[in-house]
Amino acid sequence: MTAPPILLIGSIGAGKTTFRQQLMGQEVDYAKTQAMEAFDGIIDTPGEYLEYGRFQRALHVAACDVDTIVLMIDPTSADSRIPPGFVSGFNKPAVGVVTKIDLATPEQISTAEEQLRLAGAGRIFRVDSLTGDGFDDIRGALCRT
């Protein structure tokens, strides 16, 4: 399976790179993303691009080359940086992904899902990128055979 062009957006430490590695069937090896990187149609972005307004233009430019925006949120983080209505500025469909579900309480996961809905994400998925839990569903929604 290959992923169609997608853009991963989330705060610093949201799990974007680990998610990408798991989605692509690669060994999970943490490395801080320092710049926008493309891997077989998946654009991985630094969390700073979301967190600092002056960098958000780069996300809008990159979104021109993708089919879907993937908004990601770490439910264990008290600082969500995805503002309500965020997706409306992209003119692309968006899905939401709650990462690190193995570390979060049900209340934290519910709060994260609501933040993703308010940001404009359509379908929302829950994943554990280390074990692969939840990836069958997201692959089915995003990937082509």
Per-residue pLDDT at 133: 93
Closest CA to 33 of 24, 23, 19: 19
Residue 73, number of CB atoms within 10 A of its CB: 28
pLDDT score at 105: 96
Q: Are 37 and 44 in contact (CB under 8 A)?
A: yes
According to DSSP, the β-strands at 6-10 and 42-44 are parallel
| CB neighbours of residue 42 within 10 Å | 23
One digit per residue, the tens of pLDDT, for the chain of length 145 reads 455 799 999 999 999 999 998 988 888 877 777 777 888 889 999 988 888 888 888 888 888 889 999 999 999 998 877 899 999 989 899 999 999 999 999 999 999 999 999 999 999 999 998 888 999 999 888 875 4
pLDDT of residue 49: 87
Tell me, what DSSP letter sits at residue 73? E
**How far is CA 74 from each of CA 46, 54, 60, 61, 68, rounded to the nearest angstrom?**
14, 23, 22, 24, 20
Cα within 13 Å of Cα(126), Cβ side? 14
User: At 103, phi and psi to the nearest 5?
Assistant: -100, -10
